[in-house]
Amino acid sequence: MKHLLKLLDLSKEEITLILDTADKLKAEQKAGKKHDFPAGKTLAMIFEKNSTRTRVSFETGIFQLGGHGIFLSNADSQLGRGESIADTARVLSRYNDCIMIRTFGQDGVEELAKYASIPVINALTDFEHPCQLLADLMTIREHKGKLEGLKAVWIGDGNNVANSMIAGCLKCGMDVSVACPEGYRPDKKILDFAAGVTDCKFELTDDPKIAAKNADVIFTDVWASMGQEGETEKRKIAFAGYCVDSELMALANTGCMVQHCLPAHKGEEISEEVFEKHAQEIFDEAENRLHVQKGIMYLLMK
Ligand code: CP
Ligand code: NVA
């Protein structure tokens, strides 16, 4: 594995290696043990969109590995004044050991990886959010003891997190059911991948009640992602009936988990009651961003 650009690129073995490495680093950190990682590595962190979790977990993660993170936003880097991704990639490659980028188009991440001579990590594009799903898979494995054979359900917008959820869960041997309104379905490349999977089930419906039946884990996310703020009101109408509430949870298996990448809009995609009932799992998920990204950086930089 040279970069982490999208889960669609990864094999089940590569995903498992990242999760195993994350588990090991988490156990070492909890035991107060030093990680076996070369000191002084630097991570350039490009943010073209807002972030709380991703910024703090990457910056904390590289620090805990004995290195240093450098925050670059559009507001204060030359990217914001039009310097190309190709030139930025070649410059940062002369100073740093790895680049993390949060941007709009997936082509931006792919372009960065094409010109960089160091590993590149996708920290969210409009197409995928691979670090999020790896943290979610880690959390599910911690709570359920396995991934294979579980039923994972997506309720709501077929967005970047949904794309990664479908690719990641199917690759890990989970059955996947997705409920989205027409017009808000996951990306065609993801649906084509899902259609070719033969060893687990994939279902796409516009009825949340059909999808939620016998779920072992239900995922949801905001109805309007970053960059779609202008569609907020239109989306509230399109997604009416797509709230993960106690009525929907009653259709799932006993012990069904809830995963939400956060930030959450309670009362929209998830009820306050379901959120609070599953807060332990949701904040474990947020914590595991740190451990899984340390695992990714460990594997890419060591
Ligand atoms: N889940 C997630 O990526 O959160 P941030 O936008 O706060 O980084
Ligand atoms: N789908 C959301 C995820 C935020 C972490 C967005 O792209 O804004």
Question: Distance between CA 90 and CA 103 in Å, rounded?
Answer: 18
Residue 73 near residue 47, CB atoms below 8 Å: yes
From CA 225, how far away is CA 235, in angstroms rounded?
A: 10
- Ligand 2 centroid–CA 132 distance in Å is 10
Model-level pTM?
0.98
Q: Are 217 and 257 in contact (CB under 8 A)?
A: yes
Site of tokens 């490495």? 21
Q: Is the CB of 19 under 6 A from ligand 2?
A: no
pLDDT tens, position by position, 272-282:
999 999 999 99
- pLDDT for 131 equals 99
Residue 123 near ligand 2, beta carbon < 6 Å: no
Q: Supply the pLDDT for residue 75.
A: 86
Closest CA to 46 of 68, 69, 18, 63: 69
Residue 239 pLDDT > 90 = yes
Res 151: pLDDT:
99
Binned at pLDDT 50, 70 and 90, residue 139 comes out as: very high
pLDDT tens digit sequence for 184-195: 999 999 999 999
Q: Which ligand is nearest to the CA of 222?
A: 2
